[in-house]
Amino acid sequence: MSRRTRIVMLGPPGAGKGTQAARLATRLGVPHVSTGELFRHHVGTDTALGREADAYMRRGDLVPDGVTLSMVAERLTAPDAAAGAVFDGFPRTVAQAIALDQQLAANGHALDGAVLLEVPRDTLVARITGRRFCAQCQATYHLEWSPPAVADHCDRCGGDLRWRADDDEATVARRLTVYETETFPLVAFYETDHRLWRMDGLGSVDAVAARLEEVLARD
Ligand code: ADP
Ligand code: ADP
Ligand code: ZN
């Protein structure tokens, strides 16, 4: 079992980052830090930050780095993040990746590496189309591949399941383009430093989780 506890989950929208990050974080006993979830929580509770982020998210654009970085910096000062974190959907730009390295270094830590989940586009679209999330606890489901026990209700907390406002076809297309231009350069960024693990994101959730454990256990 891996002792790596500071890991970035990288990949396009719908690749399964959130699903795998949640499981891995639970197993490692560290928080799952998803900037998308943090933003959706701010939007849902109508904070000033949420109102600022909402317009970008609805268009499928990235929230500006300044807003994103201060939100993550605050999250990492919480005591539960002292032992590490599984980052999901963050960093999404090279500037964010550099800032993450700097913040970890300032606390005497370093990122162990980034896992790139590789999934072809048609599968991404199929995963996103069936995605539902719990409005209360943010758990993720899929109508076909990870359905809740009772339709439209969260297994964990009983909350209502919804689809994400940015999971419609046009916004997904925009998000995939934004991924290619803004986020894909992170692959080279981490590869240059020998901090990138590429892995196949196809197969069942359990199969991908087992593959992820193998990747993280490598020297
Ligand atoms: P997905 O799981 O489909 O990759 P996320 O839930 O991670 O999507 O993100 C949803 C939206 O939240 C993004 O399209 C973007 O608008 C915003 N967002 C999330 N993380 C970041 C980030 N690190 N930087 C800028 N914007 C972000
Ligand atoms: P991301 O965070 O990369 O956007 P998610 O973890 O939200 O991706 O997964 C996208 C959708 O695909 C969700 O509905 C999720 O339940 C489903 N999903 C995740 N992993 C798998 C898998 N290995 N096989 C089938 N469906 C999956
Ligand atoms: Zn729930």
Q: Which residues are catalytic?
A: 17, 92, 131, 164, 175
Which residue in 59, 44, 37 sits closest to 168, CA to CA? 59
Residue 60 in any domain: the answer is no
pLDDT band at 1 (very low <50, low <70, confident <90, very high): very low
Indicate the top mutation candidate among 140, 166, 175, 204 to test ligand 2's pocket, ranked by most ligand atoms within 8 A of CB.
140
State which residues form the domain around 12. 6-31+78-217
Summarize pLDDT for 170-205 with one digit per residue, the tens. Answer: 999 999 999 999 999 999 999 999 899 999 999 999
Indicate the pLDDT class of residue 3, thresholds 50, 70 and 90: confident
200 within a domain of the structure (yes/no): yes
Residue percentage of the chain with pLDDT more than 70 = 99
Question: Does 50 reside within a domain?
Answer: no
Compute the mean pLDDT over every residue in the chain, rounded to the nearest whole number: 96
Indicate which CATH number applies to the domain containing 208. Answer: 3.40.50.300
**How far apart are the C-alpha atoms of 73 and 38, rounded to whole Å?**
12
Spatial strand order of the sheet with 6-10 comes to 32-34, 85-88, 6-10, 113-118, 196-200
Does the CB atom of residue 57 touch ligand 1 within 6 A?
yes
% of the chain exceeding 90 in pLDDT: 94
In a domain, 102, yes or no: yes
Residue 219: per-residue pLDDT: 76
Confirm whether 42 is domain-assigned.
Answer: no
Question: What is the mean pLDDT of the segment spanning 116-131?
Answer: 97
Domain count, the chain: 1
Query: Domain for residue 199, yes or no?
Result: yes
In-domain check, residue 48: no
Contacts of 148 (CB under 8 A, 6+ apart): 132, 141, 154, 155, 161
With CA atoms as reference, report the closest residue to 26 among 36, 18, 35: 18
Q: Is 89 in the pocket of ligand 1 (CB under 6 A)?
A: yes
* Crossing angle of the two packed helices 169-178 and 121-129, in degrees rounded to 10: 140
For the stretch 43-97, pLDDT in tens is: 999 999 999 999 999 999 999 999 999 999 999 999 999 999 999 999 999 999 9
β partners of residue 85: 6
Q: Is the pTM here over 0.95, yes or no?
A: yes
Q: Which of 8, 39, 51, 138 to mutate to test the pocket of ligand 1 (most atoms within 8 A of CB)?
A: 39
